[in-house]
Amino acid sequence: MADSASFIEFMMAASVLTFGDFTTKSGRKTPYFINTGNYKTGAQISTLGDFYADAIVKSGVTFDALYGPAYKGIPLVAAAASSLHRNYGMDVPYCFNRKEAKDHGEGGLIVGYQPKDGDTLVIVEDVVTAGTAVRETIALLGHVAQVTISALFVSVDRMERGTGARSALEELRREYGIDVYPIVTVRDIIAALPAGDERIEKMERYLAEYGATAT
């Protein structure tokens, strides 16, 4: 798969990476936003799956299944699993959750592969800011089976602190033993903008306020 600049161009062309005034799930006011809900064509989701599959293969992590948190993680995990099969010959199980457990038919909370005790899962997610959504995912999966979550794959590492001075991704690694693999970082995005672009100053100010300050 191509370099980080190609992925940034891909996100911008799809209006997934946008600039302006936004509020993240954690309540932070941010000058840029990653919305994977804006992918809307077959070509886009196929290409996105290729980027994720490439990151998964390059990481070298081993796992029993891929997991995508509802809702945005659902097309991401399906696209990644499809690309792994199409491009790498890897037929890997995948699953995702319902927002509410189904109480009729087959019932249950998980769709697709049913995790079992002892499984190792990796999460396929869009972006992590403060780590709130990932913690919710870990709690949810703990009610399904005794699984290990070994890795998290995201489109962008925003390089922001979580609940303390460390980055949200570093906190997840320390608290849960999860290795995090972003396709690109916010620093890659800043580097891809033209010199002197006013968006750079806004993003630098944001990182000065919310960026991680400890390792």
Q: Which has the closest alpha carbon to 84: 138, 119, 35, 124?
A: 124
Assess whether 104 carries a catalytic annotation. yes
Hey, how many other C-beta atoms are within 10 angstroms of the C-beta on 140?
15
| ω into 39 cis (within 30 of 0) | no
DSSP assignment, residue 7?
H
Give the active site residue among 58, 104, 116, 143: 104
Give the active site residue among 40, 58, 85, 102: 102
**Cβ(4)–Cβ(183) below 8 Å:** yes
Q: Which residue has the tokens 């600039």?
A: 19
Assess whether 143 carries a catalytic annotation. no
Residue 97 CB contacts under 8 Å (≥ 6 apart), including other chains: 69, 70, 109, 110, 111, 137, 140
Long-range pairs, 85-89, Cβ under 8 A, ≥24: 87/50, 87/53, 88/53, 88/57
**Cβ(96)–Cβ(67) below 8 Å:** yes
Concatenating the DSSP letter of every residue in 46-94 gives: HHHHHHHHHHHHHHT---SEEEE-TTTHHHHHHHHHHHHHHHH-----E
* Residues tagged active-site: 102, 104
